[in-house]
Amino acid sequence: MTAPAQPEQTLALPAQRPPLPGARPGALEAREISAWFGDHQVLDRVSLAMPAGRVTALIGPSGCGKSTFLRILNRMHELIAEATLAGEVLLDGGDIYGADRRLTEARRSIGMVFQKPNPFPAMSIYDNVVAGLKLTGIRASRTERDRLVEECLTKAGLWTEVRDRLRQPGGALSGGQQQRLCIARSLAVRPQVLLMDEPCSALDPSSTRRIEETIRELVHEVTIVIVTHNMQQAARVSDQCAFFLASQGVPGGIVEHGDTQAMFASPRDPRTADYVNGRFG
């Protein structure tokens, strides 16, 4: 799918101020990631390169560690009581878990869109988009905020639908619109990577199609990693896939990863072939 030209109303931030951070896609790499919840190991030595400016889909049946892996990529795993991990996550070669890296820096560079849309329901559409600026300590003038709101809503495919009601609550939008608002909110702090945990699972087919279009339009500006159980969606939106699998008493790991078309057309492992063709999972 060819990305449409940017609408004329999308403006860059004023040149007199330094650009917001993370304005280019970042290369993400997980090295030997293992994860536990208490004594229960859920991932075992998972390594995966997620190239800059590409969409990587994490596929596999429920309970194989995909969402845990995704949360490790921006340090959300450590928010869970008794959760521990081993290994490295590198963003452009720097370990986001390094002693010199602040948590807020990792979250600003690597954003997250969750399975269930989670805008601040009583906050206006406008204020939802710029909420991350204050949380991450980014200062912007009113003019900059106005332009940023328009830019991010445009990139999230929502501007034309809400431009006349920016002061209305974000919680009044439809489910699909709320999810695109969450994408706009994530984009406002200029992340290098955007993580998406089953972003379409609660949406109707029309909203799902719009989110998928948004993903393909954004990939030139931000690296995207998406967890999905929808094999057709993985085939449509991703450039590469990683197939996760776990079994009784064996923690999750990657069975196979590579180019999406190749994995769906001629997977190397018979377990991958069974899964992408719907024979289990």
pLDDT at 18 over 50: no
pLDDT digits (tens, 9 = 90+) for 197-251: 999 988 999 999 999 999 999 988 999 999 999 999 999 999 999 999 999 889 9
- Tell me what pLDDT residue 278 has: 87
Q: Compute the distance between CA of residue 2 and CA of residue 127 in angstroms, rounded to an integer.
A: 31
pLDDT at 20 over 70: no
Residue 151's closest CA among 262, 4, 2, 12? Answer: 12
> Are the beta carbons of 25 and 223 closer than 8 angstroms?
yes
Q: Average pLDDT, whole number, for the chain? A: 88
Q: Compute the distance between CA of residue 220 and CA of residue 13 in angstroms, rounded to an integer.
A: 18
Structure-token pair, residue 241: 């896939």
Q: Compute the distance between CA of residue 154 and CA of residue 86 in angstroms, rounded to an integer.
A: 39
Domains delineated in the chain: 28-116+193-276 (3.40.50.300)
pLDDT digits (tens, 9 = 90+) for 138-156: 888 899 999 999 999 999 9
- Tell me what pLDDT residue 281 has: 66
Q: Compute the distance between CA of residue 193 and CA of residue 177 in angstroms, rounded to an integer.
A: 21
What Rg do the C-alpha atoms of the chain give, in angstroms?
19
